[in-house]
Chain A
Amino acid sequence: MGRYLLKRLGYLVLTLFIVASLTFFLMKGLPGTPFNNPKLPAEQIALLKTQYGLDQPVWRQYLQYLGGLMRGDFGTSYQFVGQPVSYLIASRLGPSLQIGLQAMIVGTSLGILLGAIAAIRQNTWVDAVATIFAIIGRSIPNFVFAALLQFLLAYQMHLFPVALWDDGWASSILPTLALAMAPLANTARFMRTEMVDVLNTDYIELARAKGDSQWQAVARHALRNSLIPIVTIIGPMTVDLMTGSLVVENVFAIPGIGEQFVKSITTNDYPVIMGLTLMYSFALTVVILIVDILYGLIDPRIRLTGEVA
């Protein structure tokens, strides 16, 4: 296990290096500069460029950036003059992380429940309702949900704040729900398929032959076995959540990382783009690592050894 983790850690660093390099050159290929305010005189732009080292050849800038990374220095923002990128990210991470985690927990647990019930009541109206719900959740974009929730629950029923991040936990509920729809629908769909398969296995029949009631057989034997493939989609779902939160944070005017990411791209704030991309990549690779470890915990047939890539 130790050797396995060490190896995975090596891959993680390699992945981040590749992501950093690709993003750096792609970003430099974007049109425009950070200083495209038409009011700025040309001399001043040239001065700023020199100040931030943007007059250097791209390969030198690249090496300098990598050198900074080695020392843990992500640079400073152009847009918020003098603010270190690491500080900017840290101060904005809280709301995004909270909404993301809440949406993940709500989405997967409700999805598992919905999928399991649909499978157990296969081909009944319960199954049909759950399936329709999953299709809707999958096909309607989350910003539409966000607007719907704002209109119904906040504007009309006054249950939650319409937007902003100034009312404690209540502020996080609507964004969480909007963001949770996609993972909920995804999990429900996968769970139903998987559970239907598992319920038809011999070991469920054996569990029933032991004297398990239908629900006992589900709780003791079917659930855990159905969860194995669900673990797989946690990785892609995390990506969905990350990109989803970019939009949802904007809709709800939440001062999160996603909102900042969008802003940094439109303003060509190079160090912030780099820092956030690396942060997202890091989060994703860690999630994938956790998923692989979870696999071994849920399914005893999967052994984590140094041989597993």
Chain B
Amino acid sequence: MTPLLTVDQLTIDFQTFAGPVHAVRGVSFDLAPGETLAIVGESGSGKSVTVRALMGLLAANATVVAGQIHLGTTDVLRQSAQAFNAMRGNEVAMIFQDPMTSLDPTMPIGKQVAEPLRLHHKISRKAALAEAVRVLELVGIHDAARRLKDYPHQFSGGQRQRIVIAIAIINRPKVLIADEPTTALDVTIQAQIIQLLKAIQEKLDTAIIFITHDLGVVAGIADRVAVMYAGRIVEYGTVDELFYHPQHPYTWGLLEAMPTLNTKSKRLFAIPGTPPDLLAPPVGDAFAPRNPYAMAIDLVEAPPFFPVSETHAAATWLLHPDAPAVTPPPEIQRRYAQWAAHELGGDAND
């Protein structure tokens, strides 16, 4: 299938007083119509910056140094400001992290939900509000017609995130970017929002880029996963491949750090060390200083992607034919065993 969206070697710098911070260092991925791609990584790994480039919402001190983004036939990064405005909220829409602060506190929600419709289409105020009611009902705001004149503070956090989702989907975007949309919510509400996003995707056939640092959330929603570290994608694959057949030591660390029902030790695992300073990214593999499996070459040259399957690749020298065989941590071995047990048709959910 031809991809809906292609990101190619995207490189973004932030100008700071200390010099340029290399926040995104050659990120490439693509997105098929209707699929969900999760981008996973810790704070500062460049995942939010990547999608903000796609939205044209980079901070003033950020510049795209290299790379391209194509949405269909549109060269996203080389379009005019007007074309960007016409694309935002129409073909590409975004859901933000904190629903408590993402709505305008002084505007009734009906007007806020109808705004993208009024911006991108010639439509009367009345018709736009009628459509807002329909979409609000779709995202689970009950009795929406009576609540159009209510203000954000009259809704709970979960409801507000539903309203933010309504704003994002009212123009039926081809790509929906969800930037940690459940991070600020209670766990029970998180599950509801994930369910809602899945239902919307089925109904509207929207492709979703789901940004999170929570691997538990990923398993519930994504088709494919890309793991980012220090401004680069280090491993990508289907959800099953990433969860049960991971290859990159950083992915191992993330999975080890995720407590499951089987976790018995009193202390939770944490990856030792801290992410590198992106003012001066290390030569070679940025993860090497924290990587117990690091080899001499990791400190010299950054690893290229080694394909594992048609859909799965990881950027680690461990996959090089000449690399010595290593024994992954016990938790990963347990996952490998599960992978081997039902290699085909395996269920991603533990």
Contact = CB atoms under 8 A, between A and B. Distances in A.
Interface of A: 201-203, 205-213, 216, 220-221, 224-225, 228, 298-301
Interface in B58-115: 81-82, 85-90, 93-94, 96-98, 101-108, 115
Given A210-B115, A211-B119, A300-B106, A205 B57 contact: yes
A211 B90 contact: yes
Contact of B88 (A208, A220, A224): A208
Contacts of B87: 211
A298 B98 CA distance: 24
B269 to A, nearest CB: 33
B106 A210 contact: no
B161 to A, nearest CB: 12
A230 to B, nearest CB: 13
The 5 A-B pairs at the shortest CB distance, nearest first, are namely A211-B89, A210-B89, A202-B101, A300-B151, A202-B102
A239 B341 CA distance: 81
Contacts of A201: 101
A206 B151 CA distance: 16
Contact of A212 (B97, B103, B119): B119
Given A211-B87, A211-B89, A221-B107, 8 more contacts: A205-B57, A205-B102, A211-B116, A212-B119, A213-B85, A228-B106, A300-B106, A301-B105
9 contacts: A203-B101, A205-B102, A206-B167, A210-B115, A210-B116, A211-B88, A228-B106, A300-B108, A300-B153
A301 B333 CA distance: 55
A210 B151 contact: no
Which of B81, B86, B104, B105 has the largest count of A CB atoms less than 10 A from its CB?
A: B104
A277 B101 CA distance: 45
A240 to B, nearest CB: 27
Nearest to A200: B59
A3 to B, nearest CB: 22
B142 interface: no
Nearest to A300: B151
Interface residues of B, number: 32
Which of A212, A216, A300 has the largest count of B CB atoms less than 10 A from its CB?
A: A300
A103 B94 CA distance: 44
B94 A209 contact: yes
Which of B107, B120, B151, B153 has the largest count of A CB atoms less than 10 A from its CB?
A: B107
A203 B104 contact: yes
Nearest to B57: A208
Contacts of A221: 104, 107
Contacts of A225: 104-106
B98 A301 contact: no
Given A207-B104, A299-B105, A300-B105, A202 B57 contact: no
A2 B134 CA distance: 37
A107 to B, nearest CB: 24
Given A211-B85, A213-B81, A213-B85, A205 B105 contact: no
B164 interface: yes
B153 A301 contact: yes
Contacts of A224: 106-107
Contacts of B93: 209-210
A186 to B, nearest CB: 23
B55 interface: yes
A205 B96 contact: yes
Contacts of B82: 213
B96 to A, nearest CB: 6
Contact of A211 (B86, B96, B104): B86
Nearest to A301: B153
A203 B96 CA distance: 9
A294 to B, nearest CB: 13
